[in-house]
Amino acid sequence: MRAGAAVAELVLVRHGETDWNVERRLQGQQAPGPPLNALGRGQAGVVAAELARRFAGGVDAVWSSDLRRAVETAEPIAAALGVAVQTHAGLRERHLGDLQGLTYAEAPSAQPAAWEALQAPGGAARILGGGESLDDLRARLRATLLHIAAAHPGGRVVVVSHGGALHAAHAVARGAAAKGKVVNASISVLLAAAGPPPAVLCRRCRALEQAQRRPERQPPGTGGDGCSCADVRTDGAGRGGGGSISIAADCTAASAGGAAVPGEHGRPARDFALLCWNDAKHLANAGALGAGDAFGGSACEA
């Protein structure tokens, strides 16, 4: 996590099961989307009771995707915790374009180009028909989770979303995709920075800041020795041409939105820390796992 940043605890929950899950039908963002089936409604009740047990002191809020299956999962959770559901479109599942509504068996022949994009390696391929790329999805989840965290600094928030969206959250937090399926009504826990990055400067930027206070001394870096934050960004004077350099803004901007690690210019500090992933012990104990789900223990203990 970023040093000095306020933190919010985000308790991530996947929606309960739908008939489309059972049919292996691509749900995506088709609105309003399928409702929970009987097992899914039971799963929503089980996870609501589990969260009320774990967080007897309460939570600050329950946020949910605005798609029907997520809202129907969030409502009993919110009721058990004594808060209202707040919806956010940024928590929706990945938009799957022309594939939405098709089964995995139908999709390759019915929409071959869109299917190829879904299976493409890397994260840049967008799915035909207005679909998102994995890069789009990850950027959306990152922005949405940071927005929610910023609304609740120091708080605990339940966030109800979707399997693909939660995989994106894992990738944002850990830098790599998770293996396997996110179990319906499983619980993951993520710490998220709840404020702007502090102005932490690398060694060269700290030296430059000190030199601005003592202009008779020229620090290493002002002659272009490789530190991009020590010799670019002048007030109209150009590279190395004097003027007032916005040191903190330059160093932070070069770190892709995160504060620089002291001594390492351009290396972003982390906005997220994943504490628990895909915990479904409560479902296994209640006999509420879906037919396709397997669970061997709490991922929170790993």
Nearest one of 174, 192, 202 to 266, comparing CA atoms: 202
Helix (H, G, I), strand (E, B) or coil at 22: helix
Are 201 and 262 spatial neighbours (Cβ–Cβ below 8 Å)? yes
Instruction: Write out the H or E segment, with its range, that includes residue 151.
Output: helix 134-151
Q: How many CA atoms are closer than 13 Å to the CA of 78, on its beta-carbon side?
A: 17
Give the pairing of strands 272-279 and 187-193. Answer: antiparallel
Distance of alpha carbon 239 from alpha carbon 224, whole angstroms:
8
Annotated active-site residue 95? The verdict is no
Annotated active-site residue 162? The verdict is no
Distance of alpha carbon 36 from alpha carbon 166, whole angstroms:
18
Are 168 and 176 spatial neighbours (Cβ–Cβ below 8 Å)? no
Across the strands, what pairs with 273? 191
Are 70 and 86 spatial neighbours (Cβ–Cβ below 8 Å)? no
Catalytic option among 17, 50, 72, 93:
93
Catalytic option among 9, 15, 95, 265:
15
Across the strands, what pairs with 268? 260
Which sequence positions are flagged as catalytic? 15, 93
